[in-house]
Structure 1
Amino acid sequence: MKIQPSCLLLIVDYNLSRIDDVAHMAHYARERYGAGTVLIRPAPSERVARICDHVIDLDPLADGFVEAALERLARFSGRLRAGIVFSDNAVQSGAELLERLDLAVDCASLAAGAFSKHEYRVAEHRTREILEAQGVMVPDYAQAESVDDLQRFCADHPDGFVVKPSCEGNNRGVVVVRDGDSLDAAFSEVAPYLHGGVICEAFIPYAREFSFDGIGALSFITEKVSATGRYPVEVAQILPSRLEAHEQRTLVRAGRAANLLVGQCDGPFHNEIKLSDDGLRAAVVEPNRRPAGMKIWWLARWAYGIDLFHTWIDSVFGSAPPAQLPEPERFAAAVMLGVAQDRLFSPQDVRVGAKPLDDAIAATARALGLRDGALQARGFEWLAAERRFVHAIARDNADFVALAIVTLESGDGDIRDVVATLRAQWPAALDAACETRAAA
């Protein structure tokens, strides 16, 4: 018979495939604080039920979510000691729920800006003069419901603009529109997201992109590598970022300003920011009030030797995060891996015993002249088990088949060269591992 813990941690939803992070935090809460876990999640899986002591099937985007959750949580009265909100969908309603439960959480009333890109731009424009005085560019924006709306915005922004869903993550539906591009084609790509809102944004003329990550007062900056062209999808994240002091100051100002606008104070954040070539100006692509995706908190563990998921749990149980990270021990990168040509793919296509990542890493080390052991694989996962069609030129993160975490020892080259070379070597390694079945 399972012994019921005396206190409970409440987790409100989680993003996409982050169930391993939920398991990691639930285990730590039990080991460190003797706390069981209650998870609120729409259509929870059997694995979730095994990980958590109690599971409640509710959608944080549904009308009446807070009242329904309070009713379902009533049986745990007096046992809920801490709570976290772990998804974009729950960022506002989850914060409202924790406030109603009198549990520590960042401001609920400002949280909409961390979910809706439209709401964030509205908040930016209310404080535009203040932000621009801090070197933060505030791009023009407009809601779009038709091709005519795109045409009007295009007339005012002939150098290009971006069309994207207001409330979608993972770069889904983001289209860069440049002079001469078809507005009808651009609108057709965002049409599936009209129910949640679509916006046009003036093109941010800065090539470099970073994220301002952390929890509470603890922060660090992650370097983001994106594809060029029509679909600016993320292809890698790198820690630590290589920045001059003035560039870091610019990014911190922009990141902290975004946190103020969305009500972040003590909880986690992941703000995506572009930086000018001279490092003196920045623009916020979007803010998030949750841990970074693409394994960035795991990269921090490899680079700095600190487990930020443990830090988050400690913080909601009353222990403040450290003021700063230790010096980095090595470089770490999360790298998205795709296919050589448009094709149907599933991990079952890979021959038993084949190790395409090891092969690609070995080829990368040879190409860059790295010493033995300098480049290491620290994690690998196939992104989907089912057979699906994958584009060779990724349109969003669904057009990648795998995610790898690699580390490079300090002084053994440039991690950015490793990322580029690994992504170039991977498709051939994958094809070789699938050779027999691909031919069939």
Structure 2
Amino acid sequence: MTTLVVNGGPSDDYAEMLPELASDMVVFTGNPLPGPERYAHYEQVTGIAAGSYAELAALRMAARAVGQAPFEHVLTDNEYDLERVGRLRDRLAVPGQSEASARAFRDKALMKDLAAQGVPVPAYTRLRSFRDLEGFVAERGYPVVVKPVSEGGSRGVTVLRSQSDLAAFGARRWRHDLMAEEFVRGEVYHVDAVIAPDFRFVSAGRYYTGCLEALSGANNGSVLLHPHEPMSARLADFFDTLMKVMPAPEVGAYHLEVFHTLDDRLLLCEVASRVGGARIPQLIRRTYGIDPKETWFRLATGLPLRAEPLEVPRAVHGELCITPRPGRVVSVPGPPPFDWVREHVPNLAPGDVSAGPLHSAAGVCWTIVAGGDSSELMDRLHTCEGWLEEHVVHGAPEPAP
């Protein structure tokens, strides 16, 4: 039997994660993958998430497989392909997440409609016209967050703080995929989980700064909580309650973001049915000894796991990403000189021109550190941030053409 993969990531090695299936694997990818000769069929498709070529090609393959099931498994790790892959599963009667389930985790307004039956959510509304936005502002006051319902990485998010902001937003070309939500003050935590029959992995973490702050120029990152920290249990309970009202597949990976308000309440920010982005998978590997994506895919395809997560990690890990400023990069340093630094990777090099933070995971460089708990990690990341800010040098913004 054949496994179909619709890939969006730049370097996922499916043959390494799933060697038992690689020789019969059909892969459509938007980015080049290592060792394409290992697959039965491999195509690189420009703009794969924006078009329907992979879906059409897979259906044509299925039509030619007369008298047998063409695909036993259909996989994707890409946020923007979840619904398409769910639709393929539905049409081809392949087990896994359906299109309707994927939409519930992609459409943030629908997501909150469903989630509100189980957990607290901020005030929100789907926007069908600018008049809806005016009404929401009149009812809730400023600030108000406006965002597309199906984007990721904080792309397209706008915070309206005044009447002049509202007027400026009204001057833009209107999008028909927007929602408005009250601005929640406090910290943002995340839960990253892989759930299957007889398997449960749940990791809790805290963002170094909020995703919206990163878009405004603040450095960003994340720290994992030790499982014995009280907030870990609160977040795990919140996740379990949420999953009771969401149409979750039998095997799934999840990235949940939760507001922790100034008066100690937990509110849903959003939840995705995929592995967390940026360096969260690296933090999980270093802390718990498993690759969350490999774990998810091996469970989804019925393969035995090659590693089990540590119940009590020896250390937890955090990551700091230095947000790029508009302009030419002058200097990017090597690793900060501290013995608890575990990894340091430059994303930009001297001479590169940056447009600034186009999404919440953009960075000049990122650094992973180890510590005993989230409090120690935050202190160490603050120390790293001070050192790196002294050594990362940006030039003046490039003049407009």
Q: Which bracket does the TM-score occupy, shorter chain normalised? A: 0.7 to 0.9
Give the length in aligned residue pairs: 383
Q: Tell me, what secondary structure is at the counterpart of 1:404?
A: strand
Which residue is equivalent to 2:111?
120
Q: Tell me, what secondary structure is at the counterpart of 2:208?
A: strand
Which residue is equivalent to 2:287?
303
Does the C-alpha gap of structure 1 residues 319 and 68 become closer, same or farther in structure 2, counting only changes over 3 Å? Answer: closer
**In 2, distance between residues paired with 1:143 and 1:342?**
33
Does the C-alpha gap of structure 1 residues 12 and 301 become closer, same or farther in structure 2, counting only changes over 3 Å? Answer: same
Shift in Å, 1:269: 0.8
**In 1, distance between residues paired with 2:372 and 2:71?**
44
Runs of 4+ aligned structure 1 residues displaced above 6 Å come to: 320-324, 383-386
Q: How does 1:21-170 map to 2 (within 5 A)?
A: 22-23=12-13, 25-30=14-19, 32-33=20-21, 35-41=23-29, 44-47=30-33, 50=36, 53=39, 54-56=41-43, 57=45, 59=48, 62=51, 66=55, 68-74=57-63, 80-125=71-116, 127=117, 131=118, 136-144=119-127, 147-170=130-153
Deviations 1:318-363 (A, max 9, x none): 1477996421122222322134x54134xxx65xxxx6132xx12x
Deviations 1:231-262 (A, max 9, x none): 477811112357743x3343223323443424
**In 2, distance between residues paired with 1:230 and 1:75?**
49
Which residue is equivalent to 1:370?
none
**In 2, distance between residues paired with 1:226 and 1:187?**
29
Deviations 1:164-188 (A, max 9, x none): 1112111112222235662123456
Question: Which protein has the bigger helix share?
Answer: 1
Contact 2:125 2:180 in 1 (8 A): yes
1:421 matches 2:387: no
Report the identity percentage.
18
Shift in Å, 1:105: 1.1
Q: CA RMSD in A?
A: 3.7
TM-score, structure 2 as length reference: 0.80
**In 2, distance between residues paired with 1:293 and 1:221?**
14
Shift in Å, 1:85: 2.2
Which residue is equivalent to 1:13?
7
Q: How does 1:106-255 map to 2 (within 5 A)?
A: 106-125=97-116, 127=117, 131=118, 136-144=119-127, 147-179=130-162, 182-187=165-170, 191=172, 194=175, 197-205=177-185, 207-216=186-195, 217-227=200-210, 231=215, 235-240=220-225, 244-245=229-230, 247-255=231-239
Q: How does 1:323-402 map to 2 (within 5 A)?
A: 325-339=310-324, 342-345=326-329, 356-358=333-335, 361-362=336-337, 365=338, 373-377=339-343, 379-382=344-347, 387-391=352-356, 394=357, 396-397=359-360, 400-402=362-364
Does the C-alpha gap of structure 1 residues 38 and 315 become closer, same or farther in structure 2, counting only changes over 3 Å? Answer: same
Contact 2:223 2:374 in 1 (8 A): no
TM-score, structure 1 as length reference: 0.74
**In 2, distance between residues paired with 1:187 and 1:426?**
39
Shift in Å, 1:290: 0.8
Does the C-alpha gap of structure 1 residues 138 and 401 become closer, same or farther in structure 2, counting only changes over 3 Å? Answer: closer
Shift in Å, 1:113: 1.9
- Please tell me the residue identity of whatever aligns with 2:327: R
Does the C-alpha gap of structure 1 residues 241 and 210 become closer, same or farther in structure 2, counting only changes over 3 Å? Answer: farther
Shift in Å, 1:50: 3.1
Contact 2:10 2:32 in 1 (8 A): no
Deviations 1:181-213 (A, max 9, x none): 62123456xx57815x111112234x1211111
Does the C-alpha gap of structure 1 residues 318 and 229 become closer, same or farther in structure 2, counting only changes over 3 Å? Answer: closer
**In 2, distance between residues paired with 1:337 and 1:192?**
32
Q: Tell me, what secondary structure is at the counterpart of 2:79?
A: coil
Does the C-alpha gap of structure 1 residues 160 and 329 become closer, same or farther in structure 2, counting only changes over 3 Å? Answer: same
Shift in Å, 1:395: 6.2
